[in-house]
A and B are shown apart, each in its own frame.
Chain A
Amino acid sequence: MTDTYRPDTEDHLVDLIAWANSERKPLAVHGAKTKHRLGRPMSGRTGLDLTAFAGVSLYEPEELVLAAGPATPLAEIEALLRENRQQLAFDPPDLSGLLGAPNSGTIGGVIACNLSGSRRIKDGAARDHFLGFDAVSGRAQKVKSGGRVMKNVTGYDLSKVLCGSYGTLAAMTAMTVKVLPAPEKTRTVLVFGLDPSQAVAALASGLNGPFEVSGAAWIPQSIADRSDTDHIRQAGGSVTALRIEGFGPSVEYRCAKLRDLLSPLGETEELHSHNSANFWKSIRDVEPFRSDDRVVWKISVAPTDAPTILSALSHLKAVEAYLDWAGGLIWLAVDAPRQGAHEPVRDAVNTVGGHATLIRAGDTLRNTISVFHPQPAPLAAITKRLKDSFDPNGVLNPGRMSEGV
């Protein structure tokens, strides 16, 4: 039987983590549990439920800052921001469809996993919008870093370290994030029928011009054929997409110029606000792989290396892949329940540099192969020492990221 504890004050949390230290009891740290299938499995552990640390405590739109408990539902924060025509500009993905979770989870979960959507290429990642936190470390000590202001270099930037640490260093109890104005208008320029190399070149030419492209994706025909959006489903080929957002007159102007630039490459089309929103949501949330059970990888490489990776992996069984971040992010699904095709995937990535993270797979597979890209020995040693500096007895999510971390 596994217990779950739900401390409701920071002091209780300190007591609980101290107890876990004295008993050498590893805890599975969670908020809404929508991301418990990311990382290595933590099942069978005593639970540390942080859902008591919820609620928006400060929101000053004209100061571009919001403070909340990490267990505040993302949906609640997004609704509040929408009322004020603002947004989390890093575009947090909702992976619930992919991972079989009931909802998009909490702000703490998104930050702890450093999850960013398509707008990452323009406005930065979750880590770039995470300003500060209060937490209790694995040493059962209250620690904080950062603050509520945009610009702050006082001491080490521990917010960066906590962002993407999957609850392995400290249990957060409060956090501040930067928020930004939401765009007035969105359009998407589509180019049909490009192969991955042509697409990556087209996306680069869009990003390298003065168009302020905020989304740059490519999907193969097989995915386009399943799209809910008419223009995309009827394309009859691959679709390359570039998103333009901002003030009305500016969007019209940039869209027209971008279409002029891209039209020599193939047939072009334009999606307006509603269709744009649907399309980019499907890209961000990995909807193309939602309704099957293939293993799903997230591959991060230099954008121009994407075509090499795709061709190196094209022989895999039932493989399908699409590109976001102008090629810098590859979402890849493959039918390989036993080995996850981890060797070919990681070999391909290692030849160009970058990393591959296993995002969707059963518990057994996530226990057998490295979920995160294995690090060179000196870096793995630093990673382990960093873990130990916060959590020497390994009580917070030990092993969630790699053996002992």
Chain B
Amino acid sequence: MKMPIPDAGVIDRRLAIAEALRGIVPADNVIVDEDARRAYETDALTAYRTMPLVVVLPETVEQVAAVLKYCHANGIKVVPRGAGTSLSGGALPLADGVLLAMAKFNRVLDVDYPNRCARVQPGVTNLAITKAVEGDGFYYAPDPSSQIACTIGGNVAENSGGVHCLKYGLTTNNVLGVELVTIDGEIVRLGGKHLDSEAYDLLGLIVGSEGLLGVVTEVTVRLLPKPETARALLIGFPSSEAGGDCVAKTIAAGIIPGGMEMMDKPAIIAAEDFVHADYPMDCEALLIVELDGPEAEVDHLIDRVGDIAKACGATSMRQSSSDEERALFWAGRKAAFPAVGRLSPDYLCMDGTIPRNRLPEVLTRMTEMSNRYGLRVANVFHAGDGNLHPLIMYDANNPGELERAENFGADILKLCVEVGGVLTGEHGVGVEKRDLMPEMFTEEDLKQQQRVKCVFDPDALLNPGKVFPQLHRCAELGRMHIHKGQIPFPDLPRF
């Protein structure tokens, strides 16, 4: 993975830059000390590490604006960072870039139940939002498995999902507004407590922009009333085809479960060893289906899903009889990444999405690849929406194994695109999938995306080296080559 060559001139100015930043934020909030900087050298894509130039922790939006203005004026790159749980290297620092850590933005500003929303600072963790409102019967719906740690600012940047997003949507469907600081230090507000955007939907563009368009300093999220009840089914199937069939038939019956997750055998074994959730061990695919809503509805639907599962050849089925038991069903799934982490010194977590009905074929070909690369893979799968998380196990201490794992991962993602899917469903492109972008997009597609980048950040100072395999200058992207004088084509219908 090649990153832009660091600017030695900027690195030489490290101390002067730190000094200038100390003039903007409290002195303690600028970190230059090497040991202290090391805490920031990577995110959850731990295969990549870079020591940041300096770390700065602003406390107010005015400080963020002043830091950005300073960096803009001096041509210094900036990498925004939330909790550093990105799995795609989105928060990977740059040796010649200021790491702008949003950890001090950790307050819930305003909870507004009559309008069913909350205004929070971007460094608030995903789970903390729900914690702040659950006593009053509300919650924030998107629930990434990293929700204890990851921040809402990071969620906005990555458009994160969770196990409930088939029914309740991704981050983009649950955010009403943001306050954003652009690289030139301008503070703008997009959206708010009202529902629809005026003019172009800039809010929709910012969500999922991976820290490349601006720094989010406040988020207005939608709150939902907690469903009256939730119950889960734990269903074992003799094959992933049978499990996939059950998912398709459930949806075809008009049922959209709150959550629908599938695990393959290696993932089942890893999770069971780790959390002892009493998962059935005699199946090839395990499906967790959670139905939430009013009592009467859950009662009605859980039997229907049970019948569908039986008709699809389920070999075992358990229904949760308490919230504790339901939590236990989920515990294995939610801990699947660390569980696999115990089986292998290192693992890569992939994130392609496929049309659901291609699952059996994709799994078969993945097994072939696993054999070919000589690396084990375990699969967890957001079954409802076709988002696959193959976990590739490797040992970075064995020479060449990281590269092999990366190639295996790239082959999986290419396969996802080949069957009509995409490179990433929720983890973002970052540095990890950057060079695969041409698998999905033409050069012109990518150029148009970069033109959008130029709208916000013409000097490419915000999080450069991420998302785009090749950086073009904005001036070059803006040019248009149109031949003069062509007249409309006689064969074109015209009236």
Of the candidate stretches B44-52, B190-198, B341-349, the one touching chain A is: B190-198
CB distance from A350 to the nearest CB of B (A): 12
Contact of A181 among B204, B255, B386, B437 (CB under 8 A): B255
> Considering the chains assembled together, what is the distance between the CA atoms of A163 and B204 in angstroms?
10
CB distance from A338 to the nearest CB of B (A): 24
Contact between chains at B421 and A147 (CB < 8 Å): yes
Contact between chains at A114 and B196 (CB < 8 Å): yes
Q: In the complex where A151-B426, A212-B293 touch, is A157 in contact with B205 (Cβ < 8 A)?
A: yes
CB distance from A139 to the nearest CB of B (A): 6
Contact between chains at B486 and A8 (CB < 8 Å): no
Contact of B452 among A124, A158, A184, A392 (CB under 8 A): A158
Other A-B pairs beyond A6-B494, A62-B249, A208-B116, 14, CB < 8 Å: A16-B492, A62-B356, A128-B169, A128-B173, A144-B445, A149-B385, A152-B353, A152-B422, A153-B424, A250-B294, A257-B294, A302-B192, A378-B182, A382-B182
Q: Which residue of A lies closest to B253 (CB)?
A: A181
CB distance from B430 to the nearest CB of A (A): 10
Q: Which residue of B lies closest to A150 (CB)?
A: B385
Contact between chains at A124 and B294 (CB < 8 Å): no
Of the candidate stretches B7-15, B120-128, B223-231, B282-290, the one touching chain A is: B223-231
> Considering the chains assembled together, what is the distance between the CA atoms of A405 and B485 in angstroms?
25
B residues contacting the other copy or chain, number (CB 8 A): 107
Give the chain B neighbours of A15 by CB distance below 8 A. 486, 488-489, 492
Q: In the complex where A153-B428, A210-B228, A253-B295 touch, is A5 in contact with B492 (Cβ < 8 A)?
A: yes
Q: In the complex where A63-B357, A375-B199 touch, is A386 in contact with B256 (Cβ < 8 A)?
A: no
Tell me, yes or no, whether B172 is within 8 Å of chain A by CB. Answer: yes
Contact between chains at A208 and B225 (CB < 8 Å): yes
Contact of A355 among B194, B227, B453 (CB under 8 A): B194
Contact between chains at A156 and B208 (CB < 8 Å): yes
Give the chain B neighbours of A95 by CB distance below 8 A. none
Tell me, yes or no, whether B321 is within 8 Å of chain A by CB. Answer: no
Tell me, yes or no, whether B397 is within 8 Å of chain A by CB. Answer: no
CB distance from B463 to the nearest CB of A (A): 13
Give the chain B neighbours of A353 by CB distance below 8 A. 192-194
Contact with A along B101-128 (1 / 0, CB 8 A): 0000000000011111000000000000
> Considering the chains assembled together, what is the distance between the CA atoms of A149 and B493 in angstroms?
35
Contact between chains at B483 and A22 (CB < 8 Å): yes
Contact between chains at A156 and B452 (CB < 8 Å): yes
Q: In the complex where A18-B482, A156-B208 touch, is A4 in contact with B188 (Cβ < 8 A)?
A: no
> Considering the chains assembled together, what is the distance between the CA atoms of A222 and B441 in angstroms?
54
Contact between chains at A300 and B196 (CB < 8 Å): yes
CB distance from A301 to the nearest CB of B (A): 5
Q: Which of B381-421 contact A (CB under 8 A)?
A: 382, 385-387, 420-421
Tell me, yes or no, whether B34 is within 8 Å of chain A by CB. Answer: no
> Considering the chains assembled together, what is the distance between the CA atoms of A232 and B451 in angstroms?
53
Contact between chains at A151 and B194 (CB < 8 Å): no
> Considering the chains assembled together, what is the distance between the CA atoms of A172 and B114 in angstroms?
39
Contact between chains at B448 and A158 (CB < 8 Å): yes
Give the chain B neighbours of A211 by CB distance below 8 A. 294
| A-B pairs with beta carbons under 8 Å apart, 6 shown | A16-B488, A124-B169, A155-B446, A157-B159, A163-B201, A210-B293
CB distance from B168 to the nearest CB of A (A): 10
Contact between chains at A154 and B423 (CB < 8 Å): yes
**A-side interface residues toward B, CB under 8 Å?**
3-8, 12, 15-16, 18-19, 21-22, 52, 60-65, 85, 114, 116, 120-121, 124-125, 127-128, 137, 139-145, 147-161, 163-165, 180-182, 184, 200-201, 204, 207-212, 246-247, 249-250, 252-254, 257, 300-304, 325, 328-329, 353-355, 357, 372-373, 375-376, 378-379, 382-383, 385-390, 392-393, 401-402, 405
Tell me, yes or no, whether B301 is within 8 Å of chain A by CB. Answer: yes
> Considering the chains assembled together, what is the distance between the CA atoms of A200 and B227 in angstroms?
22
CB distance from B493 to the nearest CB of A (A): 4
CB distance from B161 to the nearest CB of A (A): 6
Give the chain A neighbours of B195 by CB distance below 8 A. 120-121, 125, 300, 325, 328-329
Contact of A155 among B114, B158, B449 (CB under 8 A): B449
Contact between chains at A372 and B198 (CB < 8 Å): yes
Tell me, yes or no, whether B148 is within 8 Å of chain A by CB. Answer: no
Q: Which residue of A lies closest to B356 (CB)?
A: A63
10 A-B pairs closest in CB distance:
A160-B204, A250-B297, A181-B254, A302-B193, A253-B296, A355-B198, A151-B425, A389-B451, A150-B385, A210-B228
Contact with A along B422-452 (1 / 0, CB 8 A): 1111111100010001001110111111011
Contact between chains at A60 and B199 (CB < 8 Å): no
Q: Which residue of B lies closest to A146 (CB)?
A: B422
Give the chain A neighbours of B486 by CB distance below 8 A. 15, 18-19, 22
> Considering the chains assembled together, what is the distance between the CA atoms of A177 and B453 in angstroms?
26
Contact between chains at A154 and B114 (CB < 8 Å): no
> Considering the chains assembled together, what is the distance between the CA atoms of A393 and B481 in angstroms?
12
Q: In the complex where A127-B201, A147-B422 touch, is A63 in contact with B115 (Cβ < 8 A)?
A: no
Tell me, yes or no, whether B73 is within 8 Å of chain A by CB. Answer: no
CB distance from A58 to the nearest CB of B (A): 10
Q: In the complex where A137-B448, A207-B116, A303-B115 touch, is A385 in contact with B205 (Cβ < 8 A)?
A: no
Tell me, yes or no, whether B39 is within 8 Å of chain A by CB. Answer: no
Q: In the complex where A141-B448, A164-B201, A401-B199 touch, is A149 in contact with B194 (Cβ < 8 A)?
A: no
Q: In the complex where A60-B357, A143-B445 touch, is A181 in contact with B169 (Cβ < 8 A)?
A: no
Give the chain A neighbours of B495 by CB distance below 8 A. 3-4, 6
Q: In the complex where A154-B429, A160-B204 touch, is A125 in contact with B196 (Cβ < 8 A)?
A: yes
> Considering the chains assembled together, what is the distance between the CA atoms of A20 and B130 in angstroms?
52
CB distance from B103 to the nearest CB of A (A): 24
Contact between chains at B188 and A379 (CB < 8 Å): yes
Give the chain A neighbours of B448 by CB distance below 8 A. 137, 139, 141, 143, 158, 389-390
CB distance from B223 to the nearest CB of A (A): 9
> Considering the chains assembled together, what is the distance between the CA atoms of A207 and B172 in angstroms?
21
Give the chain A neighbours of B115 by CB distance below 8 A. 204, 302-304
Q: Which residue of A lies closest to B165 (CB)?
A: A151
Q: Which residue of B lies closest to A402 (CB)?
A: B199
Q: Which residue of B lies closest to A170 (CB)?
A: B448
Contact between chains at A210 and B199 (CB < 8 Å): no
Q: Which residue of A lies closest to B440 (CB)?
A: A154
Contact between chains at A155 and B429 (CB < 8 Å): yes
